[in-house]
Amino acid sequence: EEVRSLLFAGTESPANTLCWSLKLLGEHPRWRGALSSSDLSEDNVEGFDVLSKVLCETMRLYPAGWAFERHTSEDATLGGEPIAKGTRIFVSPYLLHRNQKFWRNPEDFDPQRF
């Protein structure tokens, strides 16, 4: 079961990120142009700066794991609410990455954030 999960995550996650990146680049010609004019040779590390920013912003908007769960290891408080040890907590990076408390214009595709 663990091996199947690793194999699935090792192919599905990068494939999804690539698809979302292509969609976002299709909608944002400025970034598509910046990426296509970048020198992505192994001799030019700076050329990967634009690619890295595009991929980071893509993963911010469309994280491979849109939600996951954790169990509290001890009693805690979250948002003023008591949480007992062993409680299952669901975390959604998808929602966190769209929260205006943490991101300016969170719905915008802006690789320059990175």
pLDDT tens digits along 48-93:
899 999 999 999 999 988 888 999 999 999 889 999 999 999 999 9
Closest by CA position to 60, among listed 101, 104, 106, 28: 106
Alpha-carbon span 30 to 110, nearest angstrom: 11
The angle at the Cα of 31, spanning 39 to 60, to the nearest 5 degrees, equals: 105
- Determine the distance from the C-alpha atom of residue 27 to the mean position of all C-alpha atoms in its chain, rounded to a whole number: 18
Entry pTM: 0.80
Angle 8-11-14 from CA coordinates, rounded to 5°:
130
Cβ atoms within 10 A of the Cβ of 23, count?
13
Give the tens place of pLDDT for each residue, 7-50. Answer: 776 778 888 999 999 999 999 999 999 998 888 887 877 778 99
